[in-house]
Amino acid sequence: MQKLQGFQKVAVIGGSRYFGKLLVQRLHAAGHQVTVINRGSTPPPAGVEHLVVDRNDEAALTAVLGSRTFDVVIDQVCYTPVQAAIAARVFAARTRRYVMTSTIEVYDPATAALPAVPPGAPVPESAVDPAAWLVRLDLPWHDEAYLEAHYAEGKRQAEAVFAQQPQHSGRPGFAFVSVRSAHVLGGGAAEFTGRLAHYTGRITQGTPIAVHAEALPTVFIHYEELADLLQWAATATDATGPVNAASDGPLDVHGLGAVIAAQTGREPVYREVGAGEAASPFSFDRHYAMSNSRAKELGYSFSRTTDWLPAAVAETLAA
């Protein structure tokens, strides 16, 4: 595994909360020269440069960057191909490497016509190839309701813009890696989605949890591990293209409930949903649990979900 050597100039787009905030802290602690680019809602740690700008405003982003260049850009908040196209143009001559945080949702077979994966087989990165994915910049990506309804497709097309960047930036660009994150969990205040709290609250109160009749497994990652993997991806130069990020050991909703039950001493109560009825988060009736083999082959070592999940549950219960 080849790595960028020495301390680096790193730009983080976003980086104001959750694993992005932790990533900024870790990059700074490691001695890197860090620049955070966001709209200014939360200041970064002391010693970290802060550029306040709307990334959607290409002229403003270009102006605030000035003559700055970076060894690596880590993009935490790219959701649409329009945002990616702006970034591809602005950073084409400003960085050697670009890391985008993506998602397991790109593999959801309910959101696109994807290659069939054998039932239960971990889904590899090749199931969604951004180098060949169709980009539609003309779709209403600026509309929040449209974007929410097409979150997975927005991420797929954003990846595609970066993977096909000469076409969208008009010039040779940078090495690109998309980190496709599993469902991110943490404990207490670190778990900003509230999904783990949804389960701990219902189980401690004896409230039924809505699940599918045949709930299928999914994969998870602790927010600290994701921050660590993003830092690794920023410097591991052999890693290009899509990389799945998931702790070892898939769990279905019942396995998650069992871990919580062991902490609470209360058995979960489940209620099967009817056709078309929404289930609780992490109950899935379709298979798209990711394989993490490629990251391992590139040199990254994952924890096991069951090693860190009990502590995250305990922290959530304490909060």
pLDDT digits (tens, 9 = 90+) for 190-244: 667 788 999 999 999 999 999 999 999 999 999 999 999 999 999 887 889 999 9
Q: Read off the pLDDT band of 42 (50, 70, 90).
A: confident
Domain covering 9-183+221-245, topology: Rossmann fold (3.40.50)
The pLDDT confidence band at residue 27, using thresholds 50, 70 and 90, is very high
- String of DSSP letters for the chain: --B--S--EEEEES-SSHHHHHHHHHHHHTT-EEEEEE-SSS---TTSEEEE--TT-HHHHHHHHTT--EEEEEES---SHHHHHHHHHHHTTTEEEEEEEEEGGGG-TTSS------TTPPBPGGGS-TTTPPP-TTS-TT-HHHHHHTHHHHHHHHHHHHHTHHHHHSS---EEEEEEE-EEE-SGGG-TT-HHHHHHHHHHHT--EEE-TTPBPB-EEEHHHHHHHHHHHHHBTT--EEEEE--BS-B-HHHHHHHHHHHHS----EEE--TTPPPPTT-BSS--PBP-HHHHHTT----BHHHHHHHHHHHHHH-
The pLDDT-based confidence of 137 (bands split at 50, 70, 90) is very high
pLDDT at residue 7 in the model: 67
What mean pLDDT comes out for the span 145-174?
89
pLDDT surpasses 60 at 147 = yes
Q: Where are the domains of the chain?
A: 9-183+221-245, 184-219+248-290+297-318
Grade residue 170 by pLDDT with cuts at 50, 70 and 90. Answer: low
The confidence band for 4, taking pLDDT boundaries of 50, 70 and 90, is low
Q: What is the mean pLDDT of the chain?
A: 92
Q: Is the pLDDT of residue 183 over 70?
A: yes
Confidence of residue 94 (pLDDT cuts 50, 70, 90): very high
Query: pTM higher than 0.85, yes or no?
Result: yes
pLDDT in the model for residue 191 = 67
Class of domain 184-219+248-290+297-318: alpha beta
Asked if pLDDT for residue 135 goes beyond 90, the answer is yes
